[in-house]
Amino acid sequence: METEAVKSLAAAIAIALGAMMPGLGIGILAGKAMEAIGRNPEAAPKIQTAMILAIAFTEAIAIYALVVALIIKFV
């Protein structure tokens, strides 16, 4: 295979997994947070704060995957 084709395939795999897994994690996280708020509505502000912080960290992983994919593709 040509080097460019291998780079493109590697970048595609990197961003595919790097977007899919954080998306799955955010979905599970939000679902569990909504479940917790449903069980204890008084704790909603604390749960929401922790959820937003965890979503930000999870989203950072997707951004790292994008950076890795771009480095693979263009370097």
The tens digit of pLDDT for each residue in 15-64 reads 999 999 999 999 999 999 999 999 999 999 999 999 999 999 999 999 99
What is the rounded (10 degree) CA torsion for 33, 18, 62, 73? -170
Q: What is the pLDDT of residue 31?
A: 96
Q: Which of 10, 2, 1 is nearest to 68 (CA)?
A: 10
pTM of the predicted model as reported, rounded to 2 decimal places: 0.81
Structurally, at CATH architecture level, domain 3-74 sits in Up-down Bundle (1.20)
Q: pLDDT band at residue 2, thresholds of 50, 70 and 90?
A: confident
Using the Cα atoms of residue 48, residue 53, residue 54 and residue 56 in order, give the sign of their dihedral: positive
pLDDT of res. 1: 67
Number of H helices and number of E strands within the chain? Answer: 2, 0
Which residues have a Cβ under 8 Å from the Cβ of 15 and sit 6 or more positions away?
65, 66, 69
